[in-house]
Amino acid sequence: MLTKILLTILVIAGAWFLLLKRTRLIQPQVINIADKPFGSSLWRRYLLTGIFVVLGLGLLSYSVWYWRDQHRVVTVKIVSPNAANNGEYRVRKGDISDSKMVTLDGIHIRFSTQERLAIIETD
């Protein structure tokens, strides 16, 4: 959730900066080169570019980490009050939801509210 909020703020800030730059280009202005410091616009441009690159790399690395975590294979042990229905299954982390899971073999398993899940991470 926090990632979505930060990404939304990043997109809004980027659009805002582009619109400011566009309105400056549309309005004709008389610029005295001697009055304007040369390095300030370059500094601002490189700083904004650097910030966007760092945020993009951070978002990309988080996405790759999340994808790898969701595809990690774990062993799930279903423990039910009825001892005859216990079982162990190998599933991907992302395939486990509130009331069902899909094993590596493609078997869809639904469990009741009385059953408990024990997730054992394997390397």
Summarised one tens digit per residue, pLDDT across range 8-65 is 888 888 888 887 776 655 555 555 555 555 556 777 778 888 898 999 999 999 999 9
Residue 51 CA to residue 37 CA, distance in Å, equals 22
What's the pLDDT at 25? 53
pTM for this predicted structure: 0.57
122 CB-near residues (< 8 Å, 6+ apart): 73, 74, 75
Residue 102, exposed/middle/buried by CB under 10 A (0-12, 13-18, 19+)?
middle
The separation between the first and the last C-alpha atoms of the chain, rounded to the nearest angstrom, is: 28
Average pLDDT of 108-112?
88
Helix (H, G, I), strand (E, B) or coil at 80: coil
Average pLDDT of 74-93?
85
- Residue 102: pLDDT band with limits 50, 70, 90: very high
Pairing of strands 73-79, 108-110: unpaired
Q: How remote is the C-alpha of 71 from its chain's centroid? A: 15
Cα torsion through 66, 71, 76, 78, rounded to 10: 80
What's the pLDDT at 123? 65
What's the pLDDT at 33? 57
